[in-house]
């Protein structure tokens, strides 16, 4: 199916697909086994100019929108979503800067991100504040033209490997979530250290670390947007990035589907390829149908954002919830199609299944996003404008 992509979008998609197949596929299993951050691949991605996709043209980017970003994330995830999330978390860490930063901040940092010189990360979650993001405790006290940060962020993707961190902290703890602000913190700032790399079920090559701030002084010009706007910026940032998580789930599901179809055509039992068994063929048909449905929803949500719509919370949330549930089901079924071989690390489907799970959890668990969708339904009884 052709999705009415622009010439630039087709070029970006084809480039990402080629890079994933030629550079990522040969090392995917090794990256997963060694749990090593994919630096060499990130350099290839930068050399192919794919890190420029989501950066505005005036800051050395290609000026692509949410759909362009989703196409890259989908293609990378179709082969290895640990690579894809390292890429996507970089975009997430840059998003607030692009949409709420000053021209001076953008001039200083965005060309470095576009060229791949520096990676970015987004730091909201804390030990006591996951779904309940309003419970964050990290503070950023204003003092002599600086913000002094104290606290810790948990489970931060690209943590330790990124150089630029968009940190959500309380500049006025008395005001609760209305006292939060977004502050850009550079790696190597005194008082800023990292915890150990987390050992994960999936996305094992990507880095996930704790960030620790102890009297970490940051210049006040690193405030992104206005003081007290931290949660508004955070909500907008997550809304914008949720189709990207959907695209990650979509790519994982697509990769698992392709592997399952190939295997079912080759594996012979009872004298025939197992795809000739209707039970298997129908499972594959359902997998293909749900992957296509997820694709339509992810692309539609991304297009809604790119159209300049003011409110896209629901579309973005629905795309993320639907695609991630599809990814979990499709990858589980792919393992089933492979039989015992699917359970072995020699084949890619067990990795797809391990990688799929996180898409139901991060950037808002599917339960909390369903809460938000349900809240909207209560307001307008399911009717859309
Ligand atoms: C690999 C990985 C990478 C991550 N990367 C980042 C990152 O780069 N930056 C960042 O800031 N964070 C990151 N996170 C954190 C992630 O966004 C959180 O883990 C997620 O938001 C869930 O929070 P929690 O883990 O504290 O779960 P909890 O909030 O403790 O939830 C536990 C369970 O309770 C349910 N629950 C909680 N509240 C409700 C409710 N109101 N209604 C219904 N159900 C509810 C949840 O759905 C879940 O099933 C990452 C996490 C992982 C695992």
Residue 369, pLDDT score? 98
> Which residue's CA is minimally distant from atom 7 of ligand 1?
156
- The residue behind tokens 């299993």 is 29
283-309 confidence digits (pLDDT tens): 999 999 999 999 999 999 999 999 999
E strands within the chain? Answer: 120-123, 139-143, 146-157, 164-170, 180-186, 192-194, 208-219, 223-224, 268-269, 272-273
pLDDT at 127: 97
Cα-to-centroid distance, 204 and ligand 1 (Å): 18
Are 251 and 333 in a shared domain? yes
Q: The CATH number of the domain where 71 resides is what?
A: 1.10.540.10
The pLDDT score that the predictor gives to residue 379 is 84
Output the CA torsion 68→73→74→75 (10° steps): 90
Active site members? 363
Q: Residue 167 is part of a domain; what is its CATH number?
A: 2.40.110.10
pLDDT attached to residue 176 = 87
b (16+ CB within 10 A) / e for 268-288: eeeeeebbeeeebeebbeebb
Distance 293 CA to ligand 1 centre (A): 26
Q: Domain ends where: 60, 90, 119?
A: 119
25 touches 69 (CB < 8 A) = no
- 108 and 146 in a single domain? The answer is no
Domain boundary among 65, 84, 119: 119
A 10 A CB-CB count for 232 gives 16
**7 Cα to the center of ligand 1, angstroms:** 37
Instruction: Report pLDDT for 380.
Output: 76
CA distance 283 to 329: 11
Q: For residue 1, is it within any domain? A: no
One digit per residue, the tens of pLDDT, for the chain of length 385 reads 677 899 999 999 999 999 999 999 999 999 999 999 999 999 999 999 999 999 999 999 999 999 999 999 999 999 999 999 999 999 999 999 999 999 999 999 999 999 999 999 999 999 999 999 999 999 999 999 999 999 999 999 999 999 999 999 999 999 988 999 999 999 999 999 999 899 999 999 999 999 999 999 999 999 999 999 999 999 999 999 999 999 999 999 999 999 999 999 999 999 999 999 999 999 999 999 999 999 999 999 999 999 999 999 999 999 999 999 999 999 999 999 999 999 999 999 999 999 999 999 999 999 999 999 999 888 876 666 5
Atom of ligand 1 nearest to the CA of 157: 8
* pTM greater than 0.85: yes
Instruction: Write the CATH number for 323.
Output: 1.20.140.10
Same domain, 165 and 85: no
Q: Are residues 282 and 376 in the same domain?
A: yes
97 shares its domain with 215: no
Residue 175 is part of which domain span?
A: 121-228
pLDDT per position as a tens digit, 176-204: 889 999 999 999 999 999 998 999 999 99
Q: Does one domain contain both 128 and 205? A: yes
132 Cα nearest atom in ligand 1? 29
Decide if 326 is inside a domain: yes
CA angle 119–123–129, rounded 5-degree value: 160
Q: Is the CB of 374 under 6 A from ligand 1?
A: no
Q: What are phi and psi of 374, to 5 degrees?
A: -65, -35
User: Same domain for 293 and 204?
Assistant: no
Together in a domain, 92 and 191: no
Cα atoms in the Cβ-side hemisphere of radius 13 Å centred on 62: 20
385 in any annotated domain: no
Query: How confident is the model at residue 113, as a pLDDT?
Result: 98
């Amino acid at each position: 199916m052709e999705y009415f992509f622009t010439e630039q979008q087709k070029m970006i998609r084809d480039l990402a697909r080629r890079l994933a197949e030629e550079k990522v596929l040969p090392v995917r299993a090794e990256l997963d086994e060694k749990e090593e951050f994919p630096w060499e691949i990130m350099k290839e991605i930068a050399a192919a100019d794919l890190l420029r996709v989501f950066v505005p043209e005036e800051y050395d980017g290609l000026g692509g929108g949410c759909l362009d970003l989703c196409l890259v994330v989908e293609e990378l995830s179709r082969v290895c979503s640990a690579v894809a999330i390292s890429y996507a978390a970089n975009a997430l860490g840059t998003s607030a800067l692009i949409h709420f930063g000053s021209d001076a901040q953008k001039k200083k940092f965005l060309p470095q991100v576009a060229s791949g010189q520096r990676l970015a990360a987004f730091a909201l979650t804390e030990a006591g504040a996951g779904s309940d993001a309003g419970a964050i405790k990290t503070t950023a006290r204003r003092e002599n033209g600086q913000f002094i940060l104290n606290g810790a962020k948990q489970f931060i993707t690209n943590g330790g490997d990124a150089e630029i961190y968009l940190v959500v902290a309380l500049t006025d703890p008395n005001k609760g979530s209305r006292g939060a602000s977004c502050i850009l913190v550079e790696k190597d700032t005194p008082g800023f250290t990292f915890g150990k790399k987390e050992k994960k079920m999936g996305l094992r090559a990507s880095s996930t670390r704790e960030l620790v701030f102890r009297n970490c002084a940051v210049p006040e010009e690193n405030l992104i947007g206005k003081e007290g706007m931290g949660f508004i910026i955070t909500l907008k940032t997550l809304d914008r990035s949720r189709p990207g998580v959907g695209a990650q789930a979509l790519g994982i599901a697509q990769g698992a589907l392709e592997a399952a179809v190939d295997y079912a055509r080759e594996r012979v039992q009872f004298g025939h390829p197992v795809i000739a068994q209707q039970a298997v063929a129908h499972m594959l048909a359902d997998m293909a149908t749900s992957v296509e449905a997820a694709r339509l929803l992810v692309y539609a949500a991304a297009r809604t954002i790119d159209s300049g719509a003011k409110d896209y919370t629901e579309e973005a949330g629905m795309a993320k919830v639907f695609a991630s549930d599809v990814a979990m089901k499709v990858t589980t079924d792919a393992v089933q199609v492979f039989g015992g071989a699917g359970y072995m690390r020699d084949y890619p489907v067990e990795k797809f299944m391990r990688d799929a799970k996180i898409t139901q959890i991060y950037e808002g668990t599917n339960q909390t996003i369903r809460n938000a969708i349900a809240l909207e339904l209560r307001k307008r009884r399911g009717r859309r404008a």
